[in-house]
């Protein structure tokens, strides 16, 4: 699939996905949604990809929200009407379709927020595992100021990340806030000078790619996103136990121990495409993004 609104570059174990509509401040459209989903399908299937970095083209915006211009097929609900039958409960928010795909990723996702991130530009970053911001970044969950409500599953993600009180404040006021406030609340892990942002994101990706087992990371990502929502810690204990048992008998565990004893970098042989534990995915059927 050729891309018209994103750019995907893969090299040295790291994929960089750039939202690429700088003339529109990388505003979100259904085309962009489809391209991001396709790109995630590609990175999940490519065993050479160990982490995916998201950023925006240009120096003004990560993503300035949904494109509301008529030529984009937009309007106030551009990110909401992704199906033909809009009768409840069939309507599906296209931002949510995308964030569910991000949630299902087998590879770590790192956001390098380089500028304005408003509406879907903010909510699409919530399923990412690590979020970094430029000093120029600005965030806004502005839905109440547009007469709508938070979308893209953000009512599930945002309170988990920053707590219910901060989530309520940001969403009820709809105000724009800066990178330092985002860092203080835990929305982003660190704030960087604009010229240092991508290097910092690549440094994190490189640490994962050079030192960890791809299978271990994929399992860890699934466990940490899903198990905190379980009704009882016994559910986590069951999955922990099965995962430790299966992985400890595998080639990656042997290599992890041997490389430690020999004081050398590991060369883990197992691949996400074919070597995940036999009980993965353990959660069975769940609503997909199709």
Neighbours of 164 (CB within 10 A): 10
Which range marks the domain in which residue 240 is found? 213-290
- Triad 109, 153, 165: Cα angle to 5°: 100
1 lies in a domain? no
Shared domain check, 262 and 130: no
For 55, phi then psi, to 5°, come to -150, 180
Shared domain check, 64 and 20: yes
| Cα gap 231→234, rounded to integer Å | 8
Decide which of 170, 185, 208 is a domain's last residue: 208
Tell me the residue length of the chain: 290
Shared domain check, 190 and 250: no
pLDDT of residue 70: 56
Decide which of 171, 188, 208 is a domain's last residue: 208
Shared domain check, 159 and 57: yes
Shared domain check, 168 and 77: yes
The CATH number for 180's domain is 3.90.226.10
Shared domain check, 150 and 53: yes
Q: What is the total count of domains within the chain?
A: 2
pLDDT of residue 76: 42
Residue numbers in the chain where pLDDT is lower than 70: 70-90, 285-290
pLDDT of residue 289: 43
Shared domain check, 86 and 48: yes
Q: What is the pTM of this model?
A: 0.92
41 lies in a domain? yes
Shared domain check, 113 and 21: yes
pLDDT of residue 92: 85
pLDDT of residue 150: 94
pLDDT of residue 287: 54
Shared domain check, 261 and 170: no
For 108, phi then psi, to 5°, come to -60, 140
257 lies in a domain? yes
Shared domain check, 239 and 164: no
Shared domain check, 129 and 10: yes
Decide which of 166, 192, 208 is a domain's last residue: 208
The CATH number for 233's domain is 1.10.12.10
């Amino acid at each position: 699939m050729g891309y018209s609104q994103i750019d995907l570059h893969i090299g040295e174990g790291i994929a960089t996905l750039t939202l690429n509509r700088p003339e529109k401040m990388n505003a979100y459209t259904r085309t962009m949604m489809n391209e991001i989903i396709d790109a995630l399908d590609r990175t999940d299937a490519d065993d050479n990809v160990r982490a995916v970095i998201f950023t925006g083209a240009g120096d003004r915006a990560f993503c300035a929200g949904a494109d509301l211009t008529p030529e984009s097929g937009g309007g106030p609900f551009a990110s909401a009407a992704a199906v033909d039958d809009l009768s409840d409960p069939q309507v599906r928010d296209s931002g949510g379709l995308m964030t569910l795909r991000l949630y299902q990723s087998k590879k770590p996702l790192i956001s390098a927020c380089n500028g304005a991130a408003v509406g879907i530009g903010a909510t699409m970053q919530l399923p990412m595992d690590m979020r970094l911001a430029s000093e120029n970044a600005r965030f806004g969950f502005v839905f109440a100021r547009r007469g709508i409500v938070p979308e893209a599953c953000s009512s599930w993600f945002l309170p988990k990340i920053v707590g219910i009180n901060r989530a309520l404040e940001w969403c009820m006021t709809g105000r724009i806030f800066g990178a330092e406030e985002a860092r203080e609340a835990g929305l982003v892990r660190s704030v960087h000078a604009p010229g240092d942002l991508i290097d910092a994101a690549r440094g994190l990706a490189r640490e994962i790619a050079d030192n960890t087992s791809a299978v271990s990371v994929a399992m860890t990502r699934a466990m940490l996103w899903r198990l905190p929502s379980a009704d009882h810690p016994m559910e986590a204990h069951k999955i922990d136990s099965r995962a430790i048992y299966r992985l400890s008998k595998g080639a990656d565990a042997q290599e992890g121990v041997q490389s430690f004893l020999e004081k050398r970098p590991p060369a883990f042989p197992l691949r996400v495409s074919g070597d995940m534990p036999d009980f993965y995915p353990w959660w069975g059927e769940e609503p997909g993004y199709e």
